[in-house]
């Protein structure tokens, strides 16, 4: 990566397997996001210690509110300022709590949803998490001085969530995108509008950073941004055509041609993305809760992938 900038990458980039980042200046450093549980975050912070012992963490920027980017916050010392967009702070109060996630791990939610959720969430340990909220918030944009280095934070949301902040380190040519970018893995729209996500891709491309660290998946460059832009352009084309033909959401999901995006991990997220687009096209489309959406996604998997 660029000088004194590091990415902490968790394979394979699926649910909860998120990335983080570290930017060191002279005598200070900045963390980008914590991880989904305390053991994962502890492991990361101790691996970073050779750097943070010399350049202690002074700031942590949260890219967005999802637990896989915030659940480790309490492990940062009180002297570390946690910074996030104001809307991120608001959304953190509405996320599924760690207790709810633990309940989902053990609940019997039926033969389709339970295996789907277990496969995705069983690896994580949600015990002991006490959500720590941001200390400082901003609306659109912020520049931080990290030991003499200028680090820019831009809120390009709402898109994935109500606020989606990217962290740009111009002197190193590195951009941390949070979940505005999934690489090799299907992005999911919790909030939208989808057009705003495409606009966010254009803004990220205009930053012209050669090294791009996604929220999930391996380090990429501008081509990784173009790929996500391509996914959403394709999704809108397919969704709008299905809607114009009068197809229901279920029919649209069953018949969509994912083209080159079909091989991306968690392709079933197309159901949530189509649902979001249908609501944009017709606000009377009923809203669905997260478990309802994940049931539809699990069913979509079952019909697309098997039974073998």
Instruction: Give the whole-angstrom CA distance, residue 116 versus residue 195.
Output: 29
For 87, the enclosing helix (H) or strand (E) is: helix 86-92
Nearest distance in Å: CB 112, Zn ion: 24
Nearest distance in Å: CB 231, Zn ion: 16
**Residue 70 CB partners (closer than 8 Å, separation 6+):** 33, 34, 62, 92, 95, 131
Does residue number 18 form part of the binding site for Zn ion (CB under 5 A)? yes
DSSP class of residue 70 equals T
158: Cα within 13 Å, side-chain hemisphere? 12
For residue 196, give Cα distances in angstroms to 157, 160, 189, 192, 291. 7, 9, 11, 7, 25
Binding segment toward Zn ion, per CB under 5 A, in 41-49, 64-72, 75-83, 299-307: 64-72
Question: Among 4, 33, 37, 68, which residue sits at the site for Zn ion (rule: CB under 5 A)?
Answer: 68
Nearest distance in Å: CB 178, Zn ion: 7
What residues numbered 210-269 form the site for Zn ion, per CB under 5 A?
Answer: 215
Binding mask 91-130 for Zn ion (x = CB under 5 A): ----------------------------------------
Q: Which is nearer to Zn ion, 25 or 67 (CB)?
A: 67
Nearest distance in Å: CB 18, Zn ion: 4
Instruction: Give the whole-angstrom CA distance, residue 308 versus residue 172.
Output: 48
Does residue number 179 form part of the binding site for Zn ion (CB under 5 A)? yes
The answer to whether 227 and 264 have CB atoms below 8 angstroms apart is no
Size of the site for Zn ion (CB under 5 A): 5
Nearest distance in Å: CB 216, Zn ion: 6
Residues near Zn ion (CB under 5 A) are 18, 66, 68, 179, 215
């Amino acid at each position: 990566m660029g000088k004194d900038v590091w990415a902490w990458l968790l394979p394979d980039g699926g649910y909860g397997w998120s990335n983080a980042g570290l930017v060191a200046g002279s005598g200070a450093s900045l963390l980008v996001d914590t991880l989904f549980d305390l053991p994962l975050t502890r492991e990361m912070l101790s691996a970073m210690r050779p750097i943070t012992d010399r350049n202690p963490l002074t700031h942590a920027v949260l890219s967005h509110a999802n637990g896989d980017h915030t659940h480790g916050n309490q492990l940062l010392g009180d002297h570390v300022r946690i910074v996030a967009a104001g809307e991120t702070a608001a959304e953190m109060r509405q996320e599924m709590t760690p207790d709810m996630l633990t309940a989902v791990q053990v609940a019997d939610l039926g033969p389709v949803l339970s295996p789907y959720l277990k496969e995705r969430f069983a690896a994580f340990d949600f015990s002991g998490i006490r959500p720590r909220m941001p200390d400082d918030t901003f609306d659109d944009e912020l520049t931080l001085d990290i030991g003499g280095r200028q680090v820019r934070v831009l809120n390009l949301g709402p898109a994935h969530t109500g606020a989606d902040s990217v962290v740009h380190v111009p002197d190193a040519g590195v951009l941390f995108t949070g979940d505005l970018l999934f690489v090799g893995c299907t992005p999911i729209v919790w909030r939208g509008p989808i057009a705003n996500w495409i606009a966010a891709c254009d803004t990220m491309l205009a930053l012209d950073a050669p090294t791009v660290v996604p929220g999930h998946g391996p380090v990429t460059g501008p081509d990784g941004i173009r790929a996500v832009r391509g996914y959403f352009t394709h999704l809108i084309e397919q969704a709008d055509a299905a809607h114009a033909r009068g197809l229901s959401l279920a029919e649209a999901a069953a018949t969509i041609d994912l083209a080159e995006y079909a091989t991306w991990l968690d392709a079933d997220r197309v159901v949530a993305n189509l649902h979001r687009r249908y609501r944009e096209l017709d606000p009377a489309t009923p809203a669905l809760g997260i478990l309802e959406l994940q049931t539809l996604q699990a069913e979509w998997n079952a019909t697309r992938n098997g039974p073998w």
